[in-house]
Amino acid sequence: MENKRLFLIISLLFVSYLLAQAWSSDYGPKPEPVADKQSGVNPATAATDRSIPLNETAAGTDVPEALEASVADLPRSISQQSHKIIRVKTDVFNLVIDTKGGTIRQVDLPTYPISIDQQDKPFRLMSDTPSNYFVAQNGLVSEKNLALKAPTHNVIFSAEQTDYVLLDGEDEIKVDLHWQTAGLSVTKTYTFRRGSFIVELQNTLNNTSGQDWQGFQYVQLQRNQIEENGSAFIYTYMGGVIYTDKERFEKITFDDMFEKNVDRGNTGGWLAMMQHYFLAAWVPDKTHHNQFYSRTLKDDNPKYILGLKSETLTIPDQTQKAFVSQLYVGPKLQHDLEALSAGLELSVDYGVLTFLAQPVYWLLEFFHDIFGNWGWAIIFVTISIKAIFYKLSEASYVSMANMRKLQPKLVSLKERYGEDRAKMNQAMMELYKKEKINPLGGCLPILVQIPVFIALYWVLLESVELRQAPFMLWINDLSIADPYYVLPLLMGASMFIQQKLNPAPLDPIQAKVMMMLPVIFTAFFALFPAGLVLYWVANNVLSIIQQWIITKRIAGKV
């Protein structure tokens, strides 16, 4: 068995796995819209009928229920009052808050343009448009004493102003929203800090009702499922995630939420809706017990809700209580996420090979700090990995060089025994034994390196730092395909050269198949991000140099 052939076959299987993932994402089974049989209301029309508050539609409530009554019992006049839009502008946010419930309805990220060619147009992560609905909601729910209604995200708040701008010299902005009724008042405060993608939320309830108030706070994310732009051959996860002590990082897909509601208790933890490069995550008070939940508003374009509610608290008369949470809305910056909450950095989804991928990411960052260029960082990470596995690679190339040296004798055996495979294999085994060559000797080194390669693949695919990161010359974005296909062609040429350094298969059909692999891989990698192809080219060039030196050394031995 030629070891390089094994590596190419495994690599081809890996590419096939990516294709299967993409096919499943594009053409796999999708949840069917479900009508509510009990109400007789068409969910599709209910979603667009503004006369029906969202929490009262046939699709179900979008507010977590109290123990004895739903927030749907709120007077319709409160739900239908006019509301205003508050605009907040910081150095990292252009953000819209609705005075109806204090819902965050739109988030633009000016430091992350949508493309290299549109630097003045920020990436929009959250939006309330039907085609890309993604909002952050929160509120308070009363329990037991239902006469003391608390404000949910369907209730109108008042605002002191409608425009906030973080000015030069300022470090933070506070946006206060107010609501009150007989005996209760709530101030909802959002705090934005310079350079931070964290939005701090504080719901302060003041009880002057003459009796105890009991209830809880809830925070949730609501969105629909959309198709992300990108290569058809690159699959990344879009959906929900919750983090608990028991399950730790647990993906809750849209299909999961459609089929069954989540109901999970935990102290601390967090929840998120994530997509390629970006996420929104609610992080509650780490010391309190929280209940994770999900809901699906099932219409023609289902909306999926993932949220958590705090434990029930009692606020005596003439006292107040602040419910505190944090919302992260922005790029998947591992260090920022790790500092915010345990396990949040896992939203940079490296899968089962996280234990290998995180050291690789650290190495990539190390070289970027030196060179200030992610392309050169990729090249030097490749050199480092090649150096770490030098001895293992050497064993593989020595095995291939020895096999190449035996090639004339193997051809002679084939001519002697013709189609008699049994005698041919027996003669080959005797020849290997005589020459003290193990044809499988280089297989293990190749197999050991495959997980590291896959880990590096996920690092380069998931790291937002490579998004719109330039390398040199025509490569101005390492996260998208090479526009002129130069790197894929270089990769194909390097694979062809490597094959010429390997012993040719004795089977002519197999030899033709192997010669087709560089062409097949070139076609695949023409659609892959330039950063991934750059790694492969660098790795192939280093492999060619190492293999050529070893082959010349073995061939020169008497």
Assigned token pair, 161 = 């102003």
d(CA 135, CA 128): 7
* Residue whose entry in the numeric block shows the structure tokens 């977590």: 64
- Tell me the per-residue pLDDT of 258-294, one tens digit each, with 9 for 90 and over: 999 989 888 889 999 999 999 999 999 888 899 999 9
Tell me which amino acid residue 57 is. T
Mean pLDDT of the chain: 80
Task: Using pLDDT thresholds of 50, 70 and 90, give the confidence band for residue 510.
Answer: low
24-28, 300-304, 475-479: range with lowest mean pLDDT: 24-28
- Asked if pLDDT for residue 296 goes beyond 70, the answer is yes
Average pLDDT on 2-16 reads: 49
Alpha helices (H) in 260-350, listed in sequence order: 334-340
Average pLDDT on 475-498 reads: 90
Q: How far is CA 44 from CA 35, 119, 298, 396, 503, in A?
A: 9, 37, 8, 61, 64
CB atoms within 10 A of CB 286: 12
Q: Would you state the pLDDT for residue 286?
A: 86
- Asked if pLDDT for residue 136 goes beyond 90, the answer is yes
Average pLDDT on 156-177 reads: 94
d(CA 344, CA 332): 9
- Asked if pLDDT for residue 537 goes beyond 80, the answer is yes
- Asked if pLDDT for residue 86 goes beyond 90, the answer is yes
Assigned token pair, 391 = 């001895």
- CATH placement of domain 81-349: 2.70.98.90
Q: Does the pTM exceed 0.85? A: no
Task: Using pLDDT thresholds of 50, 70 and 90, give the confidence band for residue 300.
Answer: confident
Q: In sequence order, which residues have a C-beta less than 8 Å from that of residue 164 and are 6 or more positions away?
A: 86, 87, 88, 89, 173, 175, 192
Q: Would you state the pLDDT for residue 77?
A: 34
538 within 8 A of 460, measured Cβ to Cβ:
no
* Residue whose entry in the numeric block shows the structure tokens 């009928």: 49
Q: How far is CA 299 from CA 30, 179, 226, 325, in A?
A: 14, 32, 15, 30
Long-range CB pairs of 508-517 (<8 Å, 24+ gap) are 514/5, 514/8, 517/8, 517/12
3-state secondary structure of 342: coil
Between these two residues, 492 and 17, which has the higher pLDDT value?
492
Q: Would you state the pLDDT for residue 36?
A: 36
- Asked if pLDDT for residue 449 goes beyond 90, the answer is no
d(CA 314, CA 311): 10
Q: Where in the chain is the domain with CATH 2.70.98.90?
A: 81-349
- Tell me the per-residue pLDDT of 37-70, one tens digit each, with 9 for 90 and over: 333 333 333 333 332 233 333 345 677 764 333 3
